[in-house]
Amino acid sequence: MRASNASRGTVLADRIREATDFFGRLVGLIGRGGIEPGDGLHLVPCRAIHTFFLRMPIDVAFLDEHGAVVKLFHALPPWRATSFQRNASSALELPAGTLQGSGTELGHRITFTP
C-alpha cells in the first residue's frame, strides 16, 4: 500500500503494511533491525503506541477517521509510549525524518492506495 500526503502532493511511503488485529498492532515493528525509507506500518484502529523493544527511532502520525493528521511525533526514540490520542482512529509509523522531510503538519490529509 502507498501512503501519500494529499495536502502537499507527496508520497510518504510506498511499502505500507497494515496491522488490523490485536497481535499485529501489539508487535508492530518489534524485531526489525530498522525501517527503510519507503517502508511503514499503518495501525488500525490505534490511539496510542509504544516503542518498547524497538532498535530505532520512528516518526508517528496519528490520523482521524478522515485521514487528517491530529498528532505528530518526530523521531520517537525506543522505550517510549505516546499519550492516548482521543481524536485518532489510526497511526502511521514511518522512518525517522520522513514527516519533517515531507513537510507533513497537523491537519494535513493522508491517503492510502493499493
Q: What is the pLDDT of residue 25?
A: 84
pTM of this structure: 0.94
pLDDT in tens, 29-82: 877 777 899 999 999 999 999 999 999 999 999 999 999 999 999 999 999 999
The residue that leads in pLDDT, 23 or 63, is 63
How sure is the predictor about 28, in pLDDT bands with cuts at 50, 70 and 90? confident
Helix (H, G, I), strand (E, B) or coil at 33: coil
How sure is the predictor about 92, in pLDDT bands with cuts at 50, 70 and 90? very high
Rg (CA), the chain: 12
The residue that leads in pLDDT, 22 or 73, is 73
Indicate the CATH number for domain 2-113.
2.60.120.1140
Cα–Cα distance measured from residue 105 to residue 114, given in angstroms and rounded to the nearest whole number: 23
How sure is the predictor about 94, in pLDDT bands with cuts at 50, 70 and 90? very high
Q: Residue written as cell 482521524?
A: 64
How sure is the predictor about 26, in pLDDT bands with cuts at 50, 70 and 90? confident
User: In terms of Cα–Cα distance, which of 43, 5, 44, 68 is closest to 58?
Assistant: 43
Q: What is the pLDDT of residue 23?
A: 79
Cα–Cα distance measured from residue 17 to residue 112, given in angstroms and rounded to the nearest whole number: 11
